[in-house]
Amino acid sequence: MLFMLAEMTAEAAKYIGGGMAAIACAISVFTGFSQGIGEAMVAAKAVEAIGRNPDATPQIKSNMIMGIALTETTGIYGLLISILLLFLVVMPVFA
């Protein structure tokens, strides 16, 4: 193992780093899945609350929209990070 590390060239290290950045890019895209699950849970609980107390519909709706907006930001951040990693790290390595 140490022999292999000693023979690693700078070119090989560059490709290994680019591959690891590509894996990080793929992992950051998965925030969209957790975001979708979170938004579905927020909407389901809001509908459940409106079913129990229809008089509080306007307040529940405004809280639901705020919760969905906060949940949406995680997906946007994940997309932003993956785009930055892709164009600033991965593309220059393999270009």
Residues 45, 40: Cα–Cα separation, whole Å: 9
Residues 84, 40: Cα–Cα separation, whole Å: 28
What contacts 40, CB < 8 A, 6 or more positions away?
A: none
Whether the predicted model's global pTM rises above the 0.75 cut = no
Closest CA to 35 of 68, 2, 6: 68
The predicted structure's pLDDT at residue 55: 94
The predicted structure's pLDDT at residue 21: 85
- Residue 80 CB-density burial (10 A; 0-12 exposed, 13-18 middle, 19+ buried): exposed
Q: What stretches in the chain show pLDDT beneath 50? A: none
The predicted structure's pLDDT at residue 22: 85
